[in-house]
Amino acid sequence: MSVRTTRFVETAPGVRLWTETRGPADGTPLLLVMGAQASGLGWPEGLVERLAAHHRVIRYDHRDTGRSSWTFDQDPYRVTDLAEDVVAVLDGLGVERAHLVGMSLGGMLTQLVLADHPDRVLSATVFGTTALSTADLVHPDGTRTPVDRLPGIDPRLLEEWARPVEDLGEEAELDRRVRHWELLHGDGLPFDAEYFRALEREIIEHTGSYLPGTAHGRADHSGMLRTEALAANRVPTLVVSAPADPVFPPPHPQFLAQAIGGARLAEVPGLGHSLPPEVHGPLAEVVLSHTTAR
């Protein structure tokens, strides 16, 4: 029997995170870890429902997103604290071990949990991210590319991120978010502006405010490298290649698959740094082929 529940869990003093669980009550837990400044609703319904047909799926709002505690301005934290929140969510929900699926910053948080708390992870899937490693990318011909020579972020995104965000009202904020999604989407699939506008309206309603958060960009990003621990990884790990990703374009996925011990690589054609309906089925298929093989 499929059930859907929401509850808050305390992950640190004064910090409560909103969580949602759905799927079979006796299903194997699968925790979705979203990217920077993204609510758990960034995991779209179409994808969550597909995964919940096989797992007890958990999504949650990071600190300073959605309905969780917005505390950064009063009590600044490190990005590594967001990784500890992943474990604290499992603790708060009474989950000993779970499959983790992380996108973007969520993929980095997943790597931190893999390195620091491997006993809590049944399997890991990461995409739209890069390895927390100083190792070189080794090409098939044996040549090497240092990590600092891997392709960078699309200049159009850097230009967008450099613009000051002004409060011009909710509709203007929706316009800004849709413009941002179009850049993140990449060139692999047609962009449906109305789909992403509706998604952001839902997130704004869920949050109770249209004002954007900036805490994750201002948080301390130091202490995140885990080169040796990732190389020694023994947790089954899948890297999903997003060929149209403008943030971490190929060969970042290949770098990830090499840096994480035992990782394997699969591709979702057309996938960029967003989750439009066209990728829900293919992405769920590759994730489930990984998690249900355990």
State the catalytic residues. 104, 245, 273
Size of the chain in residues: 294
**Angstrom distance (rounded) from CA 279 to CA 82:** 27
CB 92 within 8 A of CB 40: no
> How far lies 179's CA from each of 122, 157, 197, 282, in Å?
37, 10, 10, 25
- Cα distance from N-terminal residue to C-terminal residue, the chain: 22
| Cis-peptide, bond into residue 276, ω within 30° of zero | no
> How far lies 60's CA from each of 6, 23, 227, 245, 275, in Å?
9, 15, 28, 24, 17
Three-state secondary structure call for residue 174: helix
Two tokens, residue 69: 């505690």
The alpha-helical segments, DSSP class H, found in the chain are 45-52, 79-92, 105-116, 155-162, 170-185, 193-207, 215-218, 227-231, 252-259, 277-291
**Angstrom distance (rounded) from CA 278 to CA 190:** 9
